[in-house]
Amino acid sequence: MKRISLIGATGSVGRQALAVVAAHREALKVVAMAAGARSLPDFAQSITTFSPDLVSVPDSRAASELQKLLGTKANEVAIHHGEEGLELVATHNEAQTVVTAVVGFLGLKPTAAAIKQGKTIALANKETLVAAGGVIMPMVKQYQAAIVPVDSEHAAIHQSMHGYGPQDLSAIWLTASGGPFRKWSNEQIENATVEDALDHPNWSMGHKITIDSATMMNKGLEIIEARWLFDISPEKIRVVIHPESILHSAVEFKDGSIVGQLGHPDMRMPIHYALFYPNRVESTIVPRLDLTKLSKLTFEEPDFKRFPCLKIAADLASEDSTRASVLNAANEIVVEAFLKRRISFGTIPKMLSSVLERHKSISKPSLDDILEADRWARQEAESLLHAAT
């Protein structure tokens, strides 16, 4: 029986992780869970279904509300809250694998705490590596922890590399659907609405990553994530637009052989892979791909001009500096402002560039430098927003 902690249980990845657990009750057990305060009734329902012994929510008010929602079930579970609660979930002594399915920088501290306990991280929260890859990866080595990626592209690369190392690769082909604006003109993209941007052609995901997919910042963040995860120079990471989202990414070996992983665009597949790694276990819920039904797979060059966010992230991907943390933090603030209709879609890359221009970068940052850069970037982005709206 593999015991699991799940951080972000009510979100898109979190719910799909629970679906995988539900399909494999004989092999997987959730011992601890954390969620935000937006879907407490759903969280209470999941607690009743999966019976973890420890849970956490953001604050004491959410904790009392959850207690009420749980009724007598509340006697069987320890309810914690805040940063401490999140850390308790991440470090539950029985958990072997910790699924990090929260959005944003919030994932960094619990992930670091779980790594220090030598846990395996099923990493969905890419922002942890984007902001702090230079600190996190050495910690993984030091504490003999492991990261198994949940992001579908990185799960594909992980599977394709199996048994080989960065020294064997000449390239990583990182696929991107191109998002909802793949065929839109510059002018149309500039004025895209929230509804347009949330209308992803292939994937159903949380709001922040869906907007990141529309700007293509998501692919830029994934270059940085891949660089740290696979210890490969970003110059060797080639983004390729693949609108069908069937090839989830591929690696090109030095001898010219390209090995990739295919499947329907369904997050339960990489989640299943990460939860059972290193074993391959039969799944009854992951949809099967019938190769005879595939008519064609298409590939295109990305357009860095129409998608400046991709260029902003790709340009700093080779650095080990606070600039990636600043980009990550400012992006969280600016995307939230777009979702609240405070700024236009076209303003997103402009504000990110402005924040980066004002930042005094520190190279080879410590965790404290990263925390400070994150704080500074949020404040800076907020003041730019204040001035503009």
Q: Which of residues 127-156 bind ligand NAP (CB under 6 A)?
A: 127, 151
Residue 323 in tokens: 């600039």
Is residue 37 within the footprint of ligand NAP (CB under 6 A)? yes
CB of 153 or CB of 384, closer to ligand NAP: 153
Please give, one letter per residue, the 3-state secondary structure of 238-273.
EEEECCCCCEEEEEEECCCCEEEEECCCCCHHHHHH
- Please report whether residue 86 would count as binding ligand NAP according to CB under 6 A: yes
- Per-residue mark of binding to ligand NAP, 182-221 (x: CB under 6 A): ---------------------x-xx--x------------
For the bound state, the minimum distance from the C-beta of residue 379 to ligand NAP, rounded and expressed in Å, comes to 20
Nearer to ligand NAP, 209 or 223 (CB): 209
Name the residue nearer to ligand NAP (CB basis): 39 or 283. 39
Residue 381's CB is within 10 A of a number of other CB atoms, namely 23
Name the H helices within the chain: 12-22, 40-50, 60-70, 82-90, 108-116, 126-142, 152-161, 186-190, 194-198, 207-215, 217-230, 268-276, 308-316, 323-339, 347-358, 367-388
Closest CB to ligand NAP among residues 206, 346: 206
Report the residue closest to ligand NAP, judged by CB.
11
Pairing between β-strand 169-176 and β-strand 146-149 as defined by DSSP bridges: unpaired
Cα Rg for the chain, rounded, in angstroms? 20
Nearest distance from C-beta of residue 329 to ligand NAP, angstroms: 14
Helix boundaries (H) for 71-216: 82-90, 108-116, 126-142, 152-161, 186-190, 194-198, 207-215
| Cα 159 to Cα 148: distance, rounded to the nearest angstrom | 10
Residue 180, CA distances (Å) to 47, 126, 162, 175 in order:
35, 21, 32, 15
Taking CB under 6 A as the rule, does residue 377 contact ligand NAP?
A: no
The Cα angle at residue 73 between residues 69 and 76, in degrees rounded to 5 = 130
Q: Is 34 in the site for ligand NAP (CB under 6 A)?
A: yes
Quick check: 267 binds ligand NAP (CB under 6 A)? yes
Q: Which of 77, 102, 115, 275: binder of ligand NAP (CB under 6 A)?
A: 102
Phi and psi at residue 206, in whole multiples of 5°? Answer: -65, 165
Q: Does 10 bind ligand NAP (CB under 6 A)?
A: yes
339 binds ligand NAP (CB under 6 A): no
Q: How far is CA 154 from CA 179, 237, 325, in A?
A: 18, 12, 20
Residues of this chain, 108-127, that bind ligand NAP according to CB under 6 A: 124-127
Per CB under 6 A, the segment of 28-36, 256-264, 316-324, 351-359 that binds ligand NAP is 28-36
Residue 220 near residue 373 (C-beta atoms within 8 A): no
Residue 8 makes contact with ligand NAP by CB under 6 A: yes
Cα angle at 293 between 292 and 295, to 5 degrees?
100
Query: What's the rounded Cα separation, in Å, for the pair 286 and 265?
Result: 10
Q: Which is nearer to ligand NAP, 85 or 234 (CB)?
A: 85
Which of 58, 133, 220, 234 binds ligand NAP (CB under 6 A)? It is: 58
Choices 20-28, 98-106, 309-317, 334-342; region in contact with ligand NAP by CB under 6 A: 98-106
Task: Give me the least distance between CB of 121 and ligand NAP, in Å please.
Answer: 12
Rule CB under 6 A: choose which of 4, 5, 6, 13 binds ligand NAP. Answer: 13
Minimum distance of ligand NAP from residue 216's CB (angstroms) = 14
Nearest partner of 129 among 290, 276, 324, judged by Cα: 324
Binding site for ligand NAP (CB under 6 A): 7-14, 34-39, 58, 86, 101-103, 106, 124-127, 151, 203, 205-206, 209, 267
